[in-house]
Amino acid sequence: MSAKTTALTVLSAALLVPTMLVAPAHAAPTPPADAKGQPGKAPAPAPPVSMSTVGGSLLGQPGTQVNLLPGAPALPANLTGRSWIVADAESGEVLAAHNAHWRLPPASTMKMLFADTVLPTLPKDQVHKVTDKDMEGVGPGSSLVGVKEDHEYSVHDLWLGVFLRSGNDAVHVLSAMNGGVEKTVKDMQAHAEELQALDTHVVSPDGYDAPEQVSSAYDLTLVARSGLQKQDFREYCGTVSAKFPGLQEPGKPRDHFEIQNTNRLMTGAGGIPPYKGIAGVKNGNTTMAGSTFTGAAQQGDRKLLVTVMNPGAGGANSVYQETAALFDWGFAAAGKVKPVGELVPPKSADTSSHGSPAQSHENDPSAAGKDAGGGAGTALGVAGGALAVLAGGAFVINRRWPRGRRGRGEELI
């Protein structure tokens, strides 16, 4: 398939344009048949041979990076994510990783960066009446919470819509309150750079598929770790269900309807059992990104972050199954592996060099995809809203920065 044909096909799918309205320039070639005469699958793209070394040079190498000590459990078999990472949320040690800096479309996990950037700027009790202009730019086929023009919503309501229903409509209203989408994108990009999330290139605040919008498992984990420092962020990402404002008819009490978190490791939806100790954070799924997920969980005193991007296995549950398997491994392997890298501190906390990006955004912001070579816990009420949250709502990361300063590209072994 030509590059032009691939781009047209992906773009058409992402925009949900009916196929009868968009004809490819050329017919796509049929992949070679397998031994049984069945149509073959197109080969999966390979990771770049050169990736960022932020956090340690091993993290810039393609493939799986892990240093097992005697008695350490083997990594889960049959992992299919194009990129994944397991990290200690407090120390920042990366226990294992696979193509950690591969720049891939992030889908709605980008909303973690949106929230970490904008949450501190808007008082949660501020009320806003939604206008038609606020809703401009919400992409076709977007996930929506049900925000309506000419209705009023508190900032608190809108954040529930962002975290629970991944509502792009709520994102656009909050962006309008923050000075507009263009300003919000610039704010997010600046915050990503402050966090040293240098694989991330922001195009839309909601994670909707857009050319050149990329992040990485490493960056998404950095962002989640930053967000979990904030009480409101922890509250929202740890919420299972809530009441969201509906239509307001004159002279009548306003309707409300229930919304539920789309994080299946939290809710147990889709046949996935709730994961013991889960505390958030955010899932996503788009045509270009496939399934993406960043999760935080605690068992005993150990707090882990896991990010999985674009599993090759089919099914809506694969990203959750692979995340749960990596959580299981991480809790069992803690203290039995040597770290292969670290989650670096923000620039304002430590100005020493921790590695370098593989390339600038301007040179190639969309390296993604190029072929380059636990339980539910106890429900409790949260003041200010009718919420049901997991025990993970009390999940707090006491972030510890490394004592030593690691030089550019030094391996952490």
Residues labelled as active-site residues: 108, 111, 166
Q: What are phi and psi of 155, to 5 degrees?
A: -60, -40
C-alpha triplet 5, 6, 12: angle, nearest 5°:
90
Angle, in degrees to the nearest 10, between helices 168-177 and 181-194: 90
- Cα(296)–Cα(279) distance, integer angstroms: 5
Cβ-based neighbours of 391, under 8 Å, separated by 6 or more: 277, 279, 377, 378
Q: Provide the β-strand partners of residue 103.
A: none
Q: What are phi and psi of 48, to 5 degrees?
A: -60, 150
Q: Is 397 helix (H, G, I), strand (E, B) or coil?
A: coil
Write the single-letter amino acid at 268.
G
DSSP state at residue 119: G
Q: Is there a contact between 288 and 279 (Cβ–Cβ < 8 Å)?
A: no
Ordered alpha helix ranges (H), 35-147: 110-118
Neighbours of 159 (CB within 10 A): 26
Q: What are phi and psi of 88, to 5 degrees?
A: -75, 120
- Cα(137)–Cα(308) distance, integer angstroms: 28
Cis amide prior to 281 (ω within 30 degrees): yes
- Cα(413)–Cα(405) distance, integer angstroms: 15
- Cα(105)–Cα(209) distance, integer angstroms: 7
